[in-house]
Structure formats: structure tokens, C-alpha cells
Amino acid sequence: MRIMVAAPSSGSGKTTLTCALLALLKNRGKSPLSFKCGPDFIDLMFHERVLGVPSENLDSYFCTEEQIRGIFSKNLSRAKADCAVIEGVMGLFDGLAGKSLVASSYEIAKITKTPVLLVLDSSGMSRSIVPLVKGFCDYAKKNSDCKKGIIKAVFLNKCSKSQYELLKPQIEAECDVKVVGFLPKKSENVWKSRHLGLILPSEIEDLRNQIQKTAEILSDTLDFASLEEIMRSSPELNSSNLSDFNFSAFKNTCSENSLVIAVARDEAFCFYYRENLRLLEEAGARLKYFSPLNDSALPSDAQGLLIGGGYPELYAARLQNNSSMRESIKSAVQNGISVMAECGGFMYLQEKLTDEKGESYKMCGAIDGESFYTGKLVRFGYGEFSADSKNCWPGENSTIKGHEFHYFDSTNNGTDFMAKKPLSNKSWQCMIQSEKMLVGFPHLYYRSNPNILHWFLDSCKKG
């Protein structure tokens, strides 16, 4: 039992509706789990605030179709969930490089055989919404194995009750799709955005109460019975023959729970692919979380260090003032701890960070370089990252997939990897790699080349 909340574009209300629907499902005694199409981090945090359990990425650029279905099925089983809500990314058909359906919400819906609930911002429109819906439905049928297409329902956001009653019969008569509900404009949660997307859930006062209030409105404006019928129409996914990564080689390298990886996690560093952390754990590592903002030193038994992305620029003064933690990290790196860091974590390891106001702050100084605000997206999007150096990866495959999304740059981006954009001739050098270090701006997705785990865990064990 599952549904995808998708839209013609960003800003249509996907996250608001997804969170309210998750809350409504919980209120009605269901045990939902959520997923997010694409490489996004922040929307998943909103889902987690509703459910209390981590949400998961589904990305068909990073993963094969079998891996997508495997991640979906295994997480449902692990969470003992009886239904799933998948939030789409951007517009329904927006995929790789703006010219492919790969990595689009539509492709994830096809791979997981999930019916789509198309949410539309109906403000400023009346009957014009009919050809918009019809165009999306016809295009979906054209590209789908299913003759009726995968768009099974429509939801109108920022829509009055009278407008809904006017538009619903017109859409259903001309588009062969069920219209299942609406949210009035005054009920919408207006969550502000910054350059990487929505502001973090922790920055929104009384977020859970806001979502619950929207869920209560939704309980009156949503045809829940019709939506539930559509959700139940999704076929079972056969996961019995799904391939997965074999961790036996890794568990020969590190005994269960014997290898400790210190993972930075607080308000400044919170961007992690949940699947990456799970793969580390399944490979035999024990993750020990610490806060660069609030703790005074790294965990004393850490053999490896992982610092993800986030918003270090928002907490630069606090990071600078926590000199004991900065010294602890610098000393650990100089003494040979194995370290991986990406984006915000990479910036934190450098000598200095200059924010968008031009104010500079001391960082760890564990590696050379200074990061600075550029005012625009830098090297944005998916990429394949191939190691130039000979000692980085075991085996022949030295390429891993990842994603960049940052407004900062560095005086020392590194030259040990070659990055290449998919469906493009654009390439550039990036990342700093040594026997014990792999750091840079890209967010890497480990499952796209699990050799990264072998290298990292092996280097941690060597001490």
C-alpha cells in the first residue's frame, strides 16, 4: 500500500502534503514509512519529525532498479510499516541533466510500481488547470507500460472549497483521473527556504503542531477512502531475487562492533545518506555520534572520522569558539586517523570559513585551504568521481557517483579525483585523497561503488 506525492514543479506543496498525509495516516492507526526521490537531505528531516524514524532516499542515478526495489522493500520490512508515502523531487518528469527521465520522480514511480498523486498549486487558475492535468496524464501514459498511466489521482493545493467543487468534476470528466482533495491557501504551512532548500525543521518553532493542524484540515478535505483504494492498488514488489552487496569481505576486515567510526551529527552537520550509514553498520562498523558544536573532543576510541554536510556557515562562530573540539580533530588527523568528509564537513576541516557577510572564522586547520561564499551554485548536480591516484581503491573500479549542491567554494578543492557530469562533456578535478583521507565537496553515495567502504574500513583498522 503506497502512493507517490509528485507535482509539475518545485514549490507546489509536495512537502506540506506529504507531512500532513503521513500524520493523517498515523492518526488513523497506520504505520507509514516515507521516502524521498533524488539526493535531497532536508525534506527527509521533515518526514522524520512526523514519523520519528528516518526517511530514505530513492535515487535511480545512484542505484540500479533492483537496488531501488531492494532499498524500498527492506526498509518497509525493517520498520514493520504497512504503507509508504514517497515524496517526489522537482517536477514529475524532471530528470538527469534536464533532458532525461533518469533520476526523475516518474522513473522511481515506474520502478517501484507506485501510483502517483499529482499535487497542483491551483492559485491563479480555474479551468486552465484541466489541460495542465490532461497534459501530464497523457504524457505519463505515453511513457508508461501501463495503458492508464501511473497518475491515479489529483490533489489541489491553495484551493478554496467552492473552487474545488467547480474544478473536480471538470478534471474527472476530461482527464480520466480521480480528484481526491484540496487544501485551502490559509491552511498551508509557509516554511521558508534558503539556498540549499527549506530551512531545517529544528529552526521552525512548533513544527509538529503545525503539521498536525494541517493533518486535521486534511482529514476534512481529503477523500481518504478513495486515496486508500488507490494506495492498495499498487502491486506487491518481489524482493526475493533482489541483489544486495556482500559484506563478508568487510566482516573479515573488522569484527562486529569492534571498529568505531566517529560521526559528526548536530545542527551544523546533518546531511547524510541514511543508506551510507547503514552500509557502514552492516559492514561491521560501530557508529559513535558526536557534536562539533557541543562536545569538547572526539570519542576517545574512534578509529575513523566521518563529517557530513550541513550548514557550518550558520554556526561558524560557535564552531570557532569550540577550540577544544577543533584541536581534537586537527590532532587526530595529524596523528593518522582515517577521515572522510564532504561539503560542510570538508569546509570545517580547512583553516578558515568566510560567510556571506564577509566575516571569517577559524576552523580546524586539519587541511590547507579556506572556504568562502560565492553567491551562486558551484558545480551543482550529479557527477561521477574517478580516482586519479593508484592507491585509493581496491580492485579495478575507481569511480563512484555523487552529488554537489553548495554555494561555497575553496582555495583548495583538491586534484586527486576527476569529476564528470552525466550527459555532458563538463569535467573538473576535485577532492583530496591520501592513504588515510578522502575529503571534498561531493556527497558520495557508497552503494554506487562499495569499494569505498572496503578502503575506508581497511584504512581505519590499520590505525
pLDDT tens digits along 406-452: 999 999 999 999 999 999 999 999 999 998 999 999 999 999 998 89
* pLDDT over 90 at 312, yes or no: yes
Angle between helices 105-112 and 65-79 (to 10 degrees): 70
Domains of the chain: 2-232 (3.40.50.300), 248-462 (3.40.50.880)
Q: What is the DSSP letter of 200?
A: P
Q: Classify 336 as helix, strand or coil.
A: coil
* pLDDT over 70 at 360, yes or no: yes
pLDDT for the residue 242: 44
Task: Answer positive or negative: Cα dihedral of 275, 280, 282, 283.
Answer: positive
Dihedral angle over CA of 67, 6, 182, 31, nearest 10: 10
Per residue in 16-61, pLDDT (tens digit) is 999 999 999 999 999 999 999 999 998 999 899 889 888 999 999 9
Q: Classify 179 as helix, strand or coil.
A: strand
Q: How far apart are CA 34 and CA 56, in angstroms?
A: 7
Task: Answer positive or negative: Cα dihedral of 266, 269, 274, 275.
Answer: negative
* pLDDT over 80 at 393, yes or no: no
pLDDT for the residue 285: 93
**Is this structure's pTM higher than 0.85?**
yes
Q: Are 373 and 408 in contact (CB under 8 A)?
A: yes
pLDDT for the residue 394: 57
Retrieve residue 417's grid coordinates. Answer: 579525483
Q: List residues bridging with 285 in a β-sheet.
A: 259
Q: Are 122 and 163 in contact (CB under 8 A)?
A: yes
Q: How far apart are CA 153 and CA 181, in angstroms?
A: 9
List active site positions. 343
pLDDT for the residue 143: 76
Q: How far is CA 365 from CA 213, 267, 300, 456, in A?
A: 46, 21, 20, 22
